[in-house]
Structure 1
Amino acid sequence: MTSAASAAAAAAADDDGDGTPASPAETLELILRRLLPFLLSAALSARTLVGRWRLLHSKLSLLLAALSDAAGSPHWPSNQLFSDHLLPSLLSTLRTLRSLSAVCLDQDLPGGKLRLQSDVDIATSGLSLHLHDLHLLLRSGLLHHDGSLASPADDSAAIVLPLPAPSASRAVLALFVRDIFARLQIGALDLKGKALDSLLELLATDPAKISRLVVEEGDLPLLLRLLDPSAHSLLRDRTAAVISILSTASDASRHAVFEEGALGPLLRLLDSGPAVLKERAAIAIHALTADHGCAWAVSAYGGVSILVAACHSGSGSPSVQALAAGSLNNAAAIDDVRAAMVEEGAVSVLIELLSGNLEAQKNAALCLASLAAMGGEEIRNAILQENGLTRLLQLLRVASDPEAIDHALKAISACALAVSPTATKLLSSSPPLFAQLTDLIKRGSAGIQHSAAALVANLSPSEDIKRTMAEAMPALIKMMENSKPSSAQEAAAAALTSLVAVRANRRELSRDEKSVTRLVQMLDPRSEAVAGKELPVAVVLALTSGSSGGARRRLAEAGACQHLQKLAEADVPGAKKALQRITGNRLKNLFSISWPQ
């Protein structure tokens, strides 16, 4: 070894003594006052690997500035991540560099240049990580935190800051979130696990509020990296729970999660992750795909086959199956996704789910309704060929949940509207179906009444079956009078028009004084119950067809003529014809009469 190298080695040996600093303050003092000045000088004096030492000099200069900034705060000792984790690791790396600097003063290199080069590179990489972590802490503001989050009873060695109260200020909550994400990047495995626990605990206090704060103050790309199969299972499990909450808690957090590319990793978890992760991934995917702007990406990420596979019995828990079916329904509005669903055999899998748990039944029926309504003839024929219509009718018969009934009705209607005459004939010749539709129109929710009335209007049952539905007519009149949206009124009017095509039903309805009165009131131009008067006029036309003398008389007695005259003068379609049917040969005289207002 040369005399210069010997002198440097001797100086290095005296640099910090042989002992370990007793406190974080002594460690920081040693690094700032002795180790860094020595290494900055040694980096410029190296005679071997000069280029690497020039790079190290720039990193050491940045480190000195950052550490001086940290030391300028009186609160840094309260940050255990800095004092108990970063400083000891940094001290070890700098001591290694000090030893290597002495060797690099010797041109003979008795240990070999390649070995020395590798050692310097490893130490340089470690120094870069320390510098990254230190800058992270400085940017977060944690090193200048005065400890105001902590209560007197807090353990001074706490791994993370104490959980803030729900009423804490935004500044306090933001500091807590930044502290958590700092520990996720700097801490060891146990620190990261506890940080994620704290994040989950914080999110539970107010998911909507905290989720927005997390996407603003946290690091979503870091969370998504923890979903990678190479990440520790402990961290993946808790991270999946966090992402699941962020995906469901608020629009802002859901959009942020999607924009950061979460759908791909979540689909991979659903495809090959353990059971608990599959369920959390399924929850998040279902929430993300509910946004039409996100649903298109299912096909882009190759997720259709994964979702279809997740719907299969035995592929996961019943809740995963139900959520996967719901995600498929969310994405069924996208043309590319629908086409991929057919190719992947989604129709048969969804039909199989109609016998699954309640949530799976509802989502599968709704997805089949979407496919039948928005897809082409190929999809609707596939539903028929897979015995889907029969299975939907079975679900309708046995279901007691209002949503399941409504979704089954929508799917049956979508199949009946545009499929082959075979489907329409099958449905139209089923007395049990129309008996159930009658009951649903009378007693169902507004949505179920709408779906049931639409189905009746679009089928062609026999007169005998229509007669059995007479008791549904008063409810259809009420739907016309009260229902919103207008499509429900249209469905009720169409169903009623179909039923009163039967003479017995016309006679039955005309004897119902309340229903006739309601119908006549809807004809009043001043009435806002029905925006378009064409609907009640159409019902009056149907009610007065044939030899329905009783119906004409009762409509006239209830005051229909004066309203129809005004509607005829306003050129409402069908009003003049309806008035003529009620009045017969007296029509010309009626137009000269001034009706009371």
Structure 2
Amino acid sequence: MSSEMREDLREPALISPLSEEISLRRASELINSSISSSYSILSFPTKWQLIRDKLEQLNSNLAAAADGNSSTDNSALTAFLKPMITTLNDIQMLADRCSDETYSGGKLLMRSNLDAVSSRLELIIKHLTQIYASAILSRSQAIVLTRPAVGANREDMRFYVKDLFSRLRIGDLDMRSQALTILKEILHEDQKYVRIVVLETTDSISLLVNFLEFGDMGIQEKAAGAVSVIASFDSYKGALVTGGAIAPLVRALEMGSEVGKEEAAQALRKLTENSDNVWSVAAHGGVTVLLKLCGNADSSGELIGLACNILRNLSSVEEIKKFMVEQGAVSAFTELLKSKEETIQIHALELLCAMALEDASLGHMVVGEGVIEPLMKLLDPNSSYSLKAREVALRATELFFFSSIDLINVLMGCGFLDRVLFFLKNGEISTQESGLKIVCHLCEIYEEAKKVMGDAGFMAELVKLLEAKSFEVRELAAEVLCCMVPVQRNCRSFIQDDHSVNQILRLLNPDEEKSVTNKLLLSILMSLANSSNGRRKILASGYINHLEKLAEADVVDAKKIIKRLSSNRFRSILSGIWSL
């Protein structure tokens, strides 16, 4: 569609009956003149024949549409007079140049210009055909169709969609607004409508894309809402992209109303889930617009959250992520962590984590921007943050600070382990699981952390978690204990607690010889059996028979522990059935 026609769609001209009559007459004169001139043109004969055929069809349709309207205020018809006359003037100008063969710019450019006006003619003809056929020339003449019931046959649904798009093409502002409202509703209601709109309705996507830049904000908002619904379906995202939806969506995100921005952001979030569309958003200035939006204090939490999600999708491309960093994304989103709205903090933190994943230098940059203070606030047991906020903060802490011993020491100096221990004692299962994964990782990379955790009272809490309802929590607790108990001072402390040693033996399951949990518990007992005090506590347990049964079942670690218990002074306590 030409820029003139797009402009005309934004602000339909108010033309008096007299000016309309003059314009119709002028259009007819131009058509006849162009048809007549085209016969004498020798160059590009095929293209001029095609243009001539379309001019004749246009003349016929123009007369039919005008005759079919009894109203003196034909807003639907007059809406296309200006672009129609502009196109006809362009055709006459091209005819004059071809007649005297003055191809300004060369034959290639002339060929392109002829193709362009031919396409514009085709679009005008389609619109005039719809005006003539639809009988929706004014609001007073409109017949409002009843929406098909749920489960209606496809033909009824298709007919209803066709009627809606007729109203969108030629209706007044109120009619278009109502049609877009209904369109969004039915797209939500049944996926069949989405297919009919995208695949079976002529120019549907181009029309919705044009409405994204309509002069009326309400129309923009509703068009963006309809586009957002279509973008929810992977099968139809390509139609939106090839239809040119991304550029106007970015502009709506920059200059639209608050509702329009949110609808546009929803659509872009869904479109950028496909990495092929990421570059297109960036190429149309989307990164700058999104960063500016996030830095705007007037932006709603919902809008900032959507913008963060889009930027997260964009950051999957390394070059775009680098551009984001150059534009100050790290400092901007670290600042958002100080927001009073928890949702904004969560979205900003998730974005920073996504950007820093597998990028240690960027993680250090985030730490340098002062991320530790807001993280410790999110993990403060006395605060009222949600479960999700805690879990995101725990994951972020691991990602940003576990890359070096120095950063780990900084973290531990801020009371991080005390916070994790609190959540192991009082948190929900998911928070406990997140905390256990983190301390397990910490034990693997930093020996000193095991001693600090032992002194802080982690082992007693880990023993309690061996009976948690969650299998994952039980197994992770056993894994962390396996890392901690071999440390000499931790082992002494563990042995002094009669309950802990007894609990390990009690939880051994003789009926599950090869279970992971059994293997971990046996590993803990192996460490305890290295000392005489540990062996005494094991032998004194009322659940020593669990260990014996596993040894009888040829579980290697159980047999090794029994061998240690059977040596020297302990040998007489047990039967001599062990041949090792």
TM over 0.5: yes
Asked if 1:552 corresponds to 2:538, the answer is: yes
Asked if 1:311 corresponds to 2:306, the answer is: no
In structure 1, distance between residues paired with 2:460 and 2:206: 61
In structure 1, distance between residues paired with 2:120 and 2:247: 32
Paired amino acid for 2:465: L
Asked if 1:224 corresponds to 2:209, the answer is: yes
Paired amino acid for 2:205: L
Q: Indicate if the aligned counterparts of 1:389 and 1:415 stay in contact, CA closer than 8 A.
A: no
Uncovered stretches (5+) of structure 2, i.e. residues with no partner: 1-16, 18-24, 42-47, 85-116, 443-448
Give the CA deviation at 1:354: 1.5
Distance 1:90 1:232, change over 3 A: closer
Paired amino acid for 1:325: C
Asked if 1:371 corresponds to 2:350, the answer is: no
Give the CA deviation at 1:385: 0.8
In structure 1, distance between residues paired with 2:304 and 2:317: 21
What's the counterpart of residue 362 of structure 1? 346
Q: Indicate if the aligned counterparts of 1:510 and 1:551 stay in contact, CA closer than 8 A.
A: no
Q: Indicate if the aligned counterparts of 2:513 and 2:550 stay in contact, CA closer than 8 A.
A: yes
Asked if 1:176 corresponds to 2:160, the answer is: yes
Give the CA deviation at 1:173: 2.1
Cα deviation 1:62-105 (Å, max 9, x = unaligned): 469989999xxxxxx9x999x987789999999xxxxxxxxxxx
Asked if 1:278 corresponds to 2:266, the answer is: no
In structure 1, distance between residues paired with 2:83 and 2:309: 53
In structure 2, distance between residues paired with 1:61 and 1:289: 45
In structure 2, distance between residues paired with 1:564 and 1:268: 72
Q: Indicate if the aligned counterparts of 2:394 and 2:435 stay in contact, CA closer than 8 A.
A: yes
In structure 1, distance between residues paired with 2:282 and 2:510: 49
Q: Which moved more, 1:281-290 or 1:542-551?
A: 542-551
Distance 1:329 1:443, change over 3 A: farther
Distance 1:313 1:578, change over 3 A: farther
In structure 1, distance between residues paired with 2:40 and 2:215: 35
In structure 2, distance between residues paired with 1:430 and 1:524: 42
Asked if 1:344 corresponds to 2:327, the answer is: yes
Paired amino acid for 2:513: P
Pairing of 1:442-461 with structure 2 (within 5 A): 442-459=425-442, 460=449
Cα deviation 1:235-269 (Å, max 9, x = unaligned): 22221222233334x44455654564534432332
Paired amino acid for 2:431: I
Asked if 1:469 corresponds to 2:455, the answer is: no
Paired amino acid for 1:354: L
In structure 1, distance between residues paired with 2:546 and 2:388: 41
Q: Indicate if the aligned counterparts of 1:372 and 1:379 stay in contact, CA closer than 8 A.
A: yes
Pairing of 1:88-487 with structure 2 (within 5 A): 131-133=125-127, 157-158=141-142, 160-204=144-188, 206=189, 210-218=193-201, 219-228=204-213, 231-248=215-232, 250-253=233-236, 256-258=239-241, 260-291=243-274, 294-295=277-278, 298-314=281-297, 316-356=299-339, 357-375=341-359, 377-397=360-380, 398-418=383-403, 420-431=404-415, 433-459=416-442, 460=449, 462-463=451-452, 466-478=455-467, 482-484=470-472
Percent of aligned positions with the same letter in both sequences?
26
Q: Indicate if the aligned counterparts of 1:193 and 1:234 stay in contact, CA closer than 8 A.
A: yes
Question: Over the residues paired in the alignment, what is the CA RMSD in angstroms?
Answer: 4.8
In structure 2, distance between residues paired with 1:461 and 1:364: 32
- TM-score normalised by structure 2 residue count: 0.69
In structure 2, distance between residues paired with 1:261 and 1:536: 61
SS of residue matched to 2:402: helix
Q: Which moved more, 1:314-323 or 1:461-470?
A: 461-470
Distance 1:232 1:521, change over 3 A: same
Q: Indicate if the aligned counterparts of 1:454 and 1:492 stay in contact, CA closer than 8 A.
A: no
SS of residue matched to 1:447: helix
In structure 2, distance between residues paired with 1:555 and 1:297: 69
Give the total of aligned pairs: 493
- TM-score normalised by structure 1 residue count: 0.67
In structure 1, distance between residues paired with 2:564 and 2:244: 66
Cα deviation 1:458-490 (Å, max 9, x = unaligned): 3316447644234421453246x8435xxx676
Asked if 1:521 corresponds to 2:509, the answer is: yes
In structure 2, distance between residues paired with 1:87 and 1:306: 38
In structure 1, distance between residues paired with 2:462 and 2:34: 100
Distance 1:452 1:45, change over 3 A: closer
Q: Indicate if the aligned counterparts of 1:416 and 1:423 stay in contact, CA closer than 8 A.
A: yes
What's the counterpart of residue 31 of structure 1? none
Q: Which moved more, 1:172-181 or 1:457-466?
A: 457-466
Cα deviation 1:382-423 (Å, max 9, x = unaligned): 1111111232111121353111111011100112321x3222
Give the CA deviation at 1:180: 2.0
Q: Specify which of 563, 582, 587 is matched with residue 550 of structure 2.
A: 563
Distance 1:592 1:303, change over 3 A: same
